[in-house]
Chains A and B, each alone.
Chain A
Amino acid sequence: MLKLQQKTTQTMLALHGWGAVIFGLLLYWVILTGTIAVFADDINDWASPLPAAIPETFPLGTDAMLRKAAADVAPEYLDELIVFATAGGRIRAFFHTHAEAEDGEHPEEKGVLFVFDPASGDILQRFEGTQSEIEAQSHYGKLGHFLVEWHVQLHVPSPWGLMLTGILGLSLLVACVSGFAMHRHLVKDAFLRRRRGGDVLSHKDAHVMASTWNLPFAFILAFTGSFYSLAGAFAIPAIAMVAFGGDQEKLIETVQGLPPAEDPRPAEMANIDAMLEDVRAAGHRTRFLTVDHWGRQDARISVFPWQAEGELLPKGYAFDAQTGENLGEKPALGQSPSLGSDLVALMGPLHFGNFAGWLSKTVWFALGFAGAYVCISGLTLWVKRREQQKTWQYLLRATLWSAWGLPLALVAAAAAYLLQQAGVLAGAVEPLMFKAFGLCLALSGILAGIVRRVTGVRRILVISLGLGLCALVALRLLLGGPGWVSAATSGLTAVVVLDVALLLGGAWLLRREWRQTLALPEEPLIDTGDMEVNTP
């Protein structure tokens, strides 16, 4: 596309190739889990549905639920409250305060978590303790959380995991720029996909074509992703250090506004249902809400809705806690609109693709899938070009292991979640998911290492994944999950759609593997100037 000096092209090629060899496999893990995590909420709805769909995320009666819970917690936990929906449309309300940790530096949230059935208003679960203690006990939404944590920080503790994914994001950025710079016929080759068995040309076209179409989004996702990781890992602490002299409170005040003067006198809270109705009337569905200083004169309430149709940037509304008056929209950062605030607000929808419901999530899933495909096809191409060098065959095996073993291990983790929910497996759900995931990954790794032929590795793993996806649906039904007819009549869209998607995915993989066996044998290549072709 660009006319570069030969030396520059060589540098770009080296960056692209060696960057992929060093970061490619982990990058694939992050991209694949991120792609699936686009549907994290829906996966949670699929794994733990309520008997019937909840038409409104926060229905009439939310106010009563919160009041009931507020009356049941120690006064210090009324300091802060965050309420959002979790698996199946259940409502999670976390009343908490920021307790000083033992090291005196990293305060941890401590309080009471309630899970409500929004249809009846009943408290389904109540956990008390620090956030990590609570998270260890609760299980609703854990399957989606498991996926998200792989994507965000590869389950490595903060800030190291964020730094790692940040660097992976930057390496994707380098791959995008170098790939764009060194590819000479970006538009001309957009439809060129020469399939001849599994030769270098087929692999090259597969990689180049997918990356050409995926380039704009790969760039956007790499940029926004590395922003999220690096901002959390060290950019925000560094800024707090420099611009605010290490004064985190001053930073928070600048971003959120000065808190009203402390006024701990008790005060009756306005009706939250009316506020939610106000937001609904403006064409929004509430995503989550926060309350500071519940039941005090200085209480503050903010409601954050999903984007209305046609909107890209998320919004937030502030309410007067005593009168219930809508104080209007509040910017993402600061007290008045600004470029900085808009840029930060833009990062979310661009990265998560959650601004237009199923439609945008499907598009983002497809784009993420293409990104994962680009990773694997690129690594395969690298090895194909070095087919005579035995060492690189290990990378090919590792690539196949990652490509198919990782999704297979995720299926195993999902199966563990379903089994724990049904009471078949005892114990906390997260360690169980880790065990199933680790065991499956280890087994597929051993297989990838010992099966004699590389094509055999792929075959076994692909067939296992295809069968695994179908088996997951069967397991859900066997364990007493809602059947398709009852799910469809009860409006449990996520259950039906994800079941169908899993079955179609499984069937497609099995069919694909079957067709691979019928593929044409490889033939030697000759180069005919602008286009390489196979000889007869």
Chain B
Amino acid sequence: MAGTRTEKIWRFVLAGPLVLLATLIIMAGSSLWLPEGQAQVNNFVIPVVLLPAIWAVLFFYSVLDRLGRASVVIFILTAVHAALIAQHLLQAQQ
């Protein structure tokens, strides 16, 4: 976790609040692409159950990988899921 002061602050922000936010968005967004299953509950129940695991993976990745790459990967994952959510909500409104 060595680096300049700015890098350290960004690492802290990324691993702390941003990863928590990313977890929430990825969890909610994955309910839109996961298969529903016969009981029609798997798509939204499994992400909630796996919430701690999603967070843990993102958290350790954010502290262990190169800062730039970790930021980009987490940003892309979050953005894709945020876009899915936005598209779904817009469709629901129409």
Contact = CB atoms under 8 A, between A and B. Distances in A.
The answer to A–B direct touch (Cβ < 8 A) is: yes
Interface of A: 7-8, 10-11, 14-15, 169-170, 173-174, 177, 222-223, 226-227, 230-231, 234-236, 238-239, 241-243, 245, 254-255, 331, 333-341, 343-344, 347
B52 A254 contact: no
Contacts of A177: 56, 60
A483 to B, nearest CB: 47
A255 B41 contact: yes
B92 A245 contact: yes
Given A242-B28, A343-B45, 18 more contacts: A14-B1, A170-B52, A174-B59, A223-B53, A235-B47, A239-B47, A242-B88, A245-B89, A245-B92, A331-B39, A334-B41, A336-B39, A338-B37, A338-B45, A339-B37, A340-B39, A340-B42, A343-B49
B51 interface: yes
A11 B46 contact: no
Contact of A242 (B31, B40, B41): B31
Q: What are the 4 tightest A-B residue pairs by CB atom distance, in nearest-first order? A: A340-B45, A334-B39, A338-B39, A334-B41
12 contacts: A7-B2, A170-B59, A238-B28, A243-B43, A255-B41, A334-B39, A336-B39, A339-B46, A340-B45, A340-B46, A341-B39, A343-B45
B74 interface: no
A227 B39 contact: no
Contacts of B64: 8, 11
B63 interface: yes
Size class of the B contact interface (CB-based, 8 Å): 20 to 34
Interface in B60-79: 60, 63-64
Contact of B41 (A10, A238, A254): A254
Contacts of B85: 242
A337 B39 contact: yes
Q: Count chain A CB atoms within 10 A of each CB in B32, B39, B59, B64 and give the residue with the most.
A: B39
A11 B61 CA distance: 12
A242 B28 CA distance: 6
A243 B63 CA distance: 31
Nearest to B48: A235
Nearest to B45: A340
A239 B25 CA distance: 10
B56 A333 contact: no
B6 to A, nearest CB: 18
A174 B55 CA distance: 10
A525 B76 CA distance: 51
B24 A238 contact: yes
Contacts of B89: 242, 245
Q: Count chain B CB atoms within 10 A of each CB in A7, A15, A337 and give the residue with the most.
A: A15
B58 to A, nearest CB: 11
Given A334-B40, A338-B39, A227 B63 contact: no
Contacts of A339: 37, 42, 46
A344 B39 CA distance: 14
A169 to B, nearest CB: 7
Contacts of B18: none
B41 A341 contact: yes
Interface string B11-34: 000000000000010011101100
